Structure 1
Amino acid sequence: MTIFGKLMWFFKEHKRLYMLGLTFLFLTEISQMVSPALIGRFTDVIVSRQMTMHQLFFYAGSILLFSVLMYIFRYTWITHIFQGSALLEKTLRQQLFDHYLKMDTTFYQRRRTGDLMAHATNDLSAVQRVASGGVLMLVDSIVIIIFTVISMILVVDWRLTLIGVLPLPLLAAGVWYLSPKMRRAFTSSQEAFSRLSNKSQESIAGIKAIKTLGQEKQDVDAFDEEIQKTIQINKKVAAIDSLFGPMATLVMTISYVVMITYGGSLVVNDSISIGQLVSFSTYLGLLVWPMFGLGQLFNVLERGNASYMRVQEILSEKSSIIEDEQGYDSISHGDVAIQINQFKYPDDQSEVLKDISLNIRAGETVGIVGRVGSGKTTLIKLLLRQFDGYTGQISFAGKNIKDYKLSAYHRVIGYVAQENFLFSTTVRDNIRFADINKSQEEVEKAAKMAALHEDIQNFPEGYDTQVGEHGVSLSGGQKQRLAIARALIIDPEILILDDALSAVDARTEKQILHTLKTTRQEKTTITVAHRISSVMNANEIVVFDHGEIAERGRHEELIAQHGWYAQMYEQQQLATTLQQNLEGEGDDDDREK
Structure 2
Amino acid sequence: MSIFKKLGWFFKQEKKHYAIGVFSLVVVAIVQVLPPKIIGLIIDEIDQKRLTRQTLLIWIGVLILAAFTQYGFRFIWRTNIWGSAAKLERSLRSQLFHHFTKMDHLFFQTHRTGDLMAHATNDVSAVQNVAGAGILTFADSLITGISTIVAMVLFVDWRLTILAMIPLPLLAVTSRVLGSKIHVAFRDAQAAFSDINDKTQESITGMKVIKTFGQEEEDIADFEEKIQRVVQKNRRVNRYDALFDPCITAIIGISYVLTIWLGGRYVMAHTISVGQLVSFISYIGMLVWPMFAIGRLFNVLERGNASYDRIEELLSEETHIIEEEHGIATRAKGDIVVDIKSFAYPDYPDQVVLKDIALKLDEGKTLGIVGKTGAGKTTLLKLFLREYDDYQGSILFGEHDIKAYRLQALLAAIGYVPQDHFLFSMTIRDNIRFAAPKSTQTMVEEVAKLAAIHEDIQAFVQGYDTLVGERGVSLSGGQKQRISIARSLITKPELLILDDALSAVDAKTEEAILQHLQARTKRQTTIITAHRLSSVMHADEIIVMDQGTIVERGTHSQLLTNHGWYAQMWSKQQLEAKIERGEK
TM-score (normalised: structure 1): 0.97
Instruction: State the match for 1:530 in structure 2.
Output: 531
Instruction: State the match for 1:429 in structure 2.
Output: 430
Q: Aligned letter for 1:64?
A: I
Over residues 251-286 of structure 1, what are the superposed CA-to-partner deviations in whole Å (9 max), with x where a residue is unaligned?
A: 000000011110000000000001100110111110
Moved more, 63-72 or 441-450: 63-72
Instruction: State the match for 2:335 in structure 1.
Output: 335
Distance 1:301 1:417 in 2: 45
Distance 1:486 1:448 in 2: 12
Over residues 190-230 of structure 1, what are the superposed CA-to-partner deviations in whole Å (9 max), with x where a residue is unaligned?
A: 00100110111111111111111100000000000101111
Over residues 371-410 of structure 1, what are the superposed CA-to-partner deviations in whole Å (9 max), with x where a residue is unaligned?
A: 0111100000000000000011111111111111111111
Instruction: State the match for 2:387 in structure 1.
Output: 386
Give secondary structure in 1 for the equivalent of 2:421: coil
Moved more, 413-422 or 325-334: 325-334
- Asked if the contact 1:331/1:397 (under 8 Å) is kept, the reply is no
Give secondary structure in 1 for the equivalent of 2:582: helix
Shift of 1:428: 0.3
Instruction: State the match for 1:591 in structure 2.
Output: none
The answer to whether 1:554 aligns with 2:579 is: no
Give secondary structure in 2 for the equivalent of 1:242: helix
Task: After TM superposition, list the pairs within 5 Å mapping 1:71-470 onto structure 2.
Answer: 71-331=71-331, 333-348=333-348, 349-470=350-471
Q: Report the aligned-residue RMSD.
A: 0.9
Q: Aligned letter for 2:276?
A: Q
Distance 1:352 1:458 in 2: 44
Give secondary structure in 2 for the equivalent of 1:466: coil
Unpaired segments of 5 or more residues in structure 1? 585-593
Moved more, 478-487 or 238-247: 238-247
- Asked if the contact 2:332/2:413 (under 8 Å) is kept, the reply is no
Moved more, 324-333 or 344-353: 324-333
Shift of 1:442: 0.2
Give secondary structure in 2 for the equivalent of 1:339: strand
- Asked if the contact 1:365/1:538 (under 8 Å) is kept, the reply is yes
Instruction: State the match for 1:484 in structure 2.
Output: 485
- Asked if the contact 1:335/1:362 (under 8 Å) is kept, the reply is yes
Distance 1:118 1:43 in 2: 56
Instruction: State the match for 1:578 in structure 2.
Output: 579
Q: Aligned letter for 2:344?
A: K
Instruction: State the match for 1:587 in structure 2.
Output: none
Distance 1:69 1:43 in 2: 24
Over residues 526-568 of structure 1, what are the superposed CA-to-partner deviations in whole Å (9 max), with x where a residue is unaligned?
A: 0000000000000000100110000000000000000000000
- Asked if the contact 2:331/2:412 (under 8 Å) is kept, the reply is no
Distance 1:140 1:282 in 2: 18
The answer to whether 1:16 aligns with 2:16 is: yes
Distance 2:47 2:211 in 1: 79
Shift of 1:42: 1.2
Distance 1:313 1:189 in 2: 17
The answer to whether 1:508 aligns with 2:509 is: yes
Shift of 1:520: 2.6
- Asked if the contact 1:127/1:305 (under 8 Å) is kept, the reply is yes
Distance 1:409 1:60 in 2: 75
Equivalent residues, number:
583
- Asked if the contact 1:335/1:397 (under 8 Å) is kept, the reply is yes
Shift of 1:126: 0.5
Shift of 1:299: 1.3
Distance 2:200 2:298 in 1: 30
Shift of 1:54: 1.3
Shift of 1:325: 2.0
Instruction: State the match for 2:540 in structure 1.
Output: 539
Q: Aligned letter for 2:386?
A: R
Distance 2:237 2:331 in 1: 56
Over residues 1-53 of structure 1, what are the superposed CA-to-partner deviations in whole Å (9 max), with x where a residue is unaligned?
A: 11111001100011111111111111111111111111111111111111111
Instruction: State the match for 1:43 in structure 2.
Output: 43
Give secondary structure in 2 for the equivalent of 1:323: coil
Distance 2:257 2:169 in 1: 17
Shift of 1:347: 2.2
Shift of 1:78: 1.3
Q: Aligned letter for 2:574?
A: Q
Give secondary structure in 2 for the equivalent of 1:366: strand
Q: Aligned letter for 1:42?
A: I
Over residues 400-457 of structure 1, what are the superposed CA-to-partner deviations in whole Å (9 max), with x where a residue is unaligned?
A: 1111111111111000012211011101000000011000000000100000000000
Distance 2:180 2:404 in 1: 48
Distance 2:433 2:345 in 1: 33
Distance 2:129 2:409 in 1: 40
Moved more, 39-48 or 503-512: 39-48
Q: Aligned letter for 1:378?
A: T
Give secondary structure in 1 for the equivalent of 2:33: helix
Distance 1:73 1:6 in 2: 29
TM-score (normalised: structure 2): 0.99
Q: Aligned letter for 2:321?
A: I
Distance 1:447 1:116 in 2: 35
- Asked if the contact 1:369/1:529 (under 8 Å) is kept, the reply is yes
- Asked if the contact 1:25/1:77 (under 8 Å) is kept, the reply is yes
Give secondary structure in 2 for the equivalent of 1:70: helix
Distance 1:258 1:70 in 2: 31
Q: Aligned letter for 2:399?
A: G
Give secondary structure in 2 for the equivalent of 1:243: helix
Give secondary structure in 2 for the equivalent of 1:374: coil
Unpaired segments of 5 or more residues in structure 2? none
Q: Aligned letter for 2:203?
A: S
- Asked if the contact 1:412/1:492 (under 8 Å) is kept, the reply is yes
Over residues 224-245 of structure 1, what are the superposed CA-to-partner deviations in whole Å (9 max), with x where a residue is unaligned?
A: 0101111111111111111111
Distance 1:108 1:320 in 2: 12
Shift of 1:332: 5.0
- Asked if the contact 1:340/1:354 (under 8 Å) is kept, the reply is yes
Over residues 340-361 of structure 1, what are the superposed CA-to-partner deviations in whole Å (9 max), with x where a residue is unaligned?
A: 0010000211100001011110
Shift of 1:472: 0.8
Give secondary structure in 1 for the equivalent of 2:42: helix
Distance 2:347 2:565 in 1: 31
Distance 1:237 1:192 in 2: 12
- Asked if the contact 1:145/1:290 (under 8 Å) is kept, the reply is yes
- Asked if the contact 2:332/2:405 (under 8 Å) is kept, the reply is no
Over residues 78-116 of structure 1, what are the superposed CA-to-partner deviations in whole Å (9 max), with x where a residue is unaligned?
A: 110011101111111111111111111111111100000
Distance 1:438 1:15 in 2: 45
Distance 2:156 2:449 in 1: 88
Instruction: State the match for 1:568 in structure 2.
Output: 569
Give secondary structure in 2 for the equivalent of 1:434: coil
